[in-house]
Structure 1
Amino acid sequence: MWFATLPRRIAALPRLALKALKRSPKALWRAVKRSPKALWRAVKGTPKALWRGVKTIGRGLRAAYRGLRAPAGRLTVHVAVTALALIGALAAGWFIVPGAGPAWSFGTEPTPEAEEAPLVLTPEDALENAPDAGLPAETAPVGDNLTGESPTTAPTTPPAGTTSLDSWAASLTALGIPERALIAYGRAELVSATANPGCNLSWTTLAGIGATETTHGTTGGNHIQADGTTLTEIIGSGYAEMGPMQFLPSTWENWKADGDGDGQTNPHDIDDAVTAAANYLCHDDRDMSTPDGWYAAVHSYNPREDYVKKVFDRADEYGRESTA
């Protein structure tokens, strides 16, 4: 087809014209060297060579024009113009906004944000380093809301039996806490009121710790079974912390408790773990109804300011929503 050879013809036009121009000066120089007669022939031949070049260019242009008028030629022009426009837009974007686009397109990757360190139970010597009950800690309490007040606590009426505790937990499902965990928190408050008189520990503080440590025993797709144990054992990655309240093995040995009266002490049983946590928080005759006493207790559980702030916020939220 004629349009198949069109690009080759167009490409040959400059070469033919250059060849004609190159041939004319050479012929003129030979004529000068040989004789005036030869010079005259060269002068006469130069316009002819130029004319032949012009005619060749004209034929090429006419052929190109005829090709462009054909459907295939118009399609080729459209494709070429579109490609040139796209290339031009990309080039303009590169020079105008060189930093646009994702980082990987420039051979660089964004620096990932540092992950938050896992929240773990206090180290083995935390009891010695924890603030004394009723005294200010070495650093100021976290957040303005810890100054002069304790987390909002929800009153818990001692139930007549298990059924009353179950009904109480069922009435607080809007908090987003698993009902089985709520039963453990409520039971631990009642047990602590007898075992640790004057501590004034509220179930909301225990729930705040449980939420911060393992989201009430549901971390990693887990859940608490009817007997209080988690579906699979929860073991922390930092210090092999155990269970829904994340006790260190050595700390559990010091504070283990039988919260459900089954004759066993199991850190993976939320009843036992929450009761042990209550005893731990209330040691040294702490009064958790005071800001200093509450802060000292939670800070000794995990001596990190951000940890205390998280527990406070969640405990305060549970207290407010459960009494609204």
Structure 2
Amino acid sequence: MRFADLPRRLASLPWKALKATGRGIRAGFRGLRSHVGRLAVQCAVTALALAASLGAGYYLVPTAGPAWSYGSEPEPEAEEAPLVLTPEDAPAAGLPAEPDQAPGSEPPSPSDSASTPSDVANDLDTWAGSLTTLGIPERALVAYGRAELVSSVLNPGCNLSWTTLAGIGATETNHGTTGGNRIQSDGTTLTDIIGSTYGEMGPMQFLPDTWERWGADGNGDGETDPHNIDDATVAAANYLCHDEHDMTTPADWYDAVFSYNHVDTYVQKVYDRADEYGKQSTA
């Protein structure tokens, strides 16, 4: 190459570079129009978006992810003490609800409950009136006592005490007074008590299908009404005593109440209240 041609060649270099760039751009566009090119662009865009998201997440939430990824382990949580599933003893039975009877006389039969003799009714009323310190409405307490009497005939050997029925009534609906309700003189609640979860009914909160099987006529009026505490307590007594439960035996008592509501904390609440009623009534 002659030195005389050098200036001309140097001057043509920018033009050659521009032409080469143009050819590269045109080749790139042709490549993008191909299937492989479009796929490559999509992959590149996806990778950039993912990288941007991860980067933004690191700065916005720098401690996200498992603790081990940041060089620290979480403190182990303390183990909760196991729930005592079975009470050491059956709850205190409390004063019996039985009315005074002549020696050798039979307890009242379920049919007698429909037309309870005045002396028996008066004895139940007197008995309930003597336990006002328990905080149980007298009409509810009369129903618990009546159900104990009826159960002693229908379920011999079960030895069900009114205190267990009262413990259930307290736990379920506070003896039919939940939500400002109350039990009327005929034993029905002022308004129907319906559970919000499963449609439980009445002061003892029977499920509809359970009531269909265990519903009882506790006051002898010819009807079975889950909203009547006399009917509901007798039905609850029959339910608790089935499977030959002996309610003076701790294991049987626990099994019976657990079958009423399959929750251990529920059983414990019923036990605590029944035991307290029994102790207070004999203090």
> Which TM-score band (shorter chain)?
0.5 to 0.7
Contact 2:158 2:244 in 1 (8 A): yes
Alignment of 1:1-324 (within 5 A): 141-142=84-85, 146-147=87-88, 149-156=89-96, 158-159=98-99, 160-324=119-283
Q: Cα offset for 1:154?
A: 1.2
Paired residue total: 183
Residue aligning to 2:110 = none
Contact 2:128 2:141 in 1 (8 A): yes
Q: Secondary structure at the match of 1:189?
A: helix
Q: Cα offset for 1:161?
A: 1.2
- Gap regions ≥5 residues in structure 1: 1-138
Deviations along 1:172-224, whole A, 9 cap, x unmatched? 01100000000000000000001000001000000000000000000000000
The amino acid across from 1:231 in the alignment is L
**Distance (whole Å) between structure 1 residues aligned to residue 84 and residue 165 of structure 2:** 19
**Distance (whole Å) between structure 1 residues aligned to residue 83 and residue 154 of structure 2:** 30
Q: Cα offset for 1:158?
A: 2.3
TM (normalized to structure 1)?
A: 0.55
TM (normalized to structure 2)?
A: 0.63
Give the CA RMSD over aligned residues: 1.3
**Distance (whole Å) between structure 1 residues aligned to residue 145 and residue 188 of structure 2:** 17
Q: Cα offset for 1:246?
A: 0.3
Contact 1:141 1:295 in 2 (8 A): no
**Distance (whole Å) between structure 2 residues aligned to residue 292 and residue 281 of structure 1:** 13
Q: Cα offset for 1:141?
A: 4.5
| Percentage of identical aligned residues | 68
- Gap regions ≥5 residues in structure 2: 1-81, 100-118
Cα 1:279–1:141 shift into 2, 3 Å: farther
**Distance (whole Å) between structure 2 residues aligned to residue 140 and residue 287 of structure 1:** 24
The amino acid across from 1:269 in the alignment is N
**Distance (whole Å) between structure 2 residues aligned to residue 244 and residue 263 of structure 1:** 19
Q: Cα offset for 1:156?
A: 1.3
**Distance (whole Å) between structure 2 residues aligned to residue 271 and residue 251 of structure 1:** 17
Contact 2:184 2:190 in 1 (8 A): yes
Computing the radius of gyration over CA atoms, which structure comes out larger, 1 or 2? 1
Q: Secondary structure at the match of 1:250?
A: helix
**Distance (whole Å) between structure 2 residues aligned to residue 140 and residue 175 of structure 1:** 27
Q: Cα offset for 1:142?
A: 2.9
**Distance (whole Å) between structure 1 residues aligned to residue 125 and residue 282 of structure 2:** 18
